[in-house]
Amino acid sequence: MKDLSKDSVTWLEVGEEAEGQRIDNFLLRIAKGVPKSHIYRIVRSGEVRVNKGRVAAEYRLRLGDKVRVPPLRTAERPSQASVPARDFEIAWEDEALIVIDKPAGVAVHGGSGVSFGVIEQLRRARPLAKFLELAHRLDRETSGLLVVAKKRMALTRLHDQFRDGGIGKRYQALVKGRWRNELQHVRLPLLKYLTADGERRVSVNPAGKPSHSIMRLLARWENFSLVEVELKTGRTHQIRVHLAHLGFPLAGDDKYGDFSLNKDLQKAGLRRMFLHAARLVLPHPLSGAPLELESSLPAELRRFTEKLDRNETKDYGQTF
Q: At 92, which amino acid appears?
A: W
Which residue of the set 101, 139, 253, 258 is catalytic?
139
Nearest to 273 by CA among 304, 247, 251: 251
Residues of the chain with CATH 3.30.2350.10: 82-311
CATH number of 82-311: 3.30.2350.10
Residues 6+ away with beta carbon under 8 Å from 219: 225, 226, 305, 314, 316, 317, 318, 320
309 is known as an active-site residue: no
Q: CA torsion, points 152, 157, 159, 163, in degrees to nearest 10?
A: 170
Please report the sign of the dihedral spanned by the C-alpha atoms of residue 148, residue 199, residue 297, residue 163: negative
3-state secondary structure of 198: coil
CA dist., res. 276 & res. 145, Å (int): 8
Q: Which fold has domain 10-69?
A: 3.10.290
pLDDT by 10s per residue, the chain, length 320: 455 655 678 888 888 778 888 999 888 888 877 888 889 999 999 999 999 999 999 999 998 899 999 888 655 444 555 888 898 999 999 999 999 999 999 999 887 667 889 999 999 999 889 899 999 999 999 999 999 999 989 999 999 999 888 999 999 999 999 999 999 999 999 999 988 877 889 999 999 999 999 999 999 999 999 999 999 999 999 999 999 999 999 999 999 999 999 999 999 999 999 999 999 999 999 999 999 999 999 999 999 999 999 999 999 986 55
Residues of the chain with CATH 3.10.290.10: 10-69
pTM for the whole thing? 0.79
